A = this chain, B = another copy of it.
Amino acid sequence: MKVIHYSEAPSKRMDGETVKGVTGRVTIGKDDGAENFCMRVFELDKDGFTPRHVHEWEHEIVVIDGNGEFFKEGKWISASKGYTVFIPGMEEHQIRNAGDEKFIFACLIPKGVQEL
């Protein structure tokens, strides 16, 4: 059993033209023996956002803290602590922080996909 606060995991910073203010961490992955799916935790800074993109694999997301929005078919849907979000494969999506505090969520992906 591995018990770890997400902030203890090694982090990867993402900043660029299509992504801003994002810190990602793999908290449960292949290195832990998790062979079927992988848990990453992301922090979005104030005004931070992930890329708007499409890919074959699904996301299963649960919000831990803060206030964010999910881009779905041209609209932004709000989500805060306790919301869960399923993004099927091949559906365009983007996530942004809509609050003043960090927006923090776990985002799980199936095996066979780059973990982070």
Which residues from chain A sit less than 8 Å from chain B, CB to CB?
1-7, 27-28, 32-34, 36-37, 39, 41, 58, 60, 62, 64-65, 70, 72-73, 77, 79, 81-88, 91, 93, 104, 106, 108, 110-111
Contact of A83 with B5 in the complex, beta carbons under 8 Å: yes
Known: A28-B86, A37-B37, A37-B108. 15 other contacts (CB 8 A): A1-B77, A1-B86, A1-B88, A1-B93, A3-B72, A3-B77, A28-B84, A32-B86, A34-B58, A34-B88, A36-B58, A39-B86, A41-B82, A65-B81, A82-B104
For the complex of A and B, 4 pairs with smallest distance between CB atoms = A36-B110, A27-B84, A2-B86, A28-B86
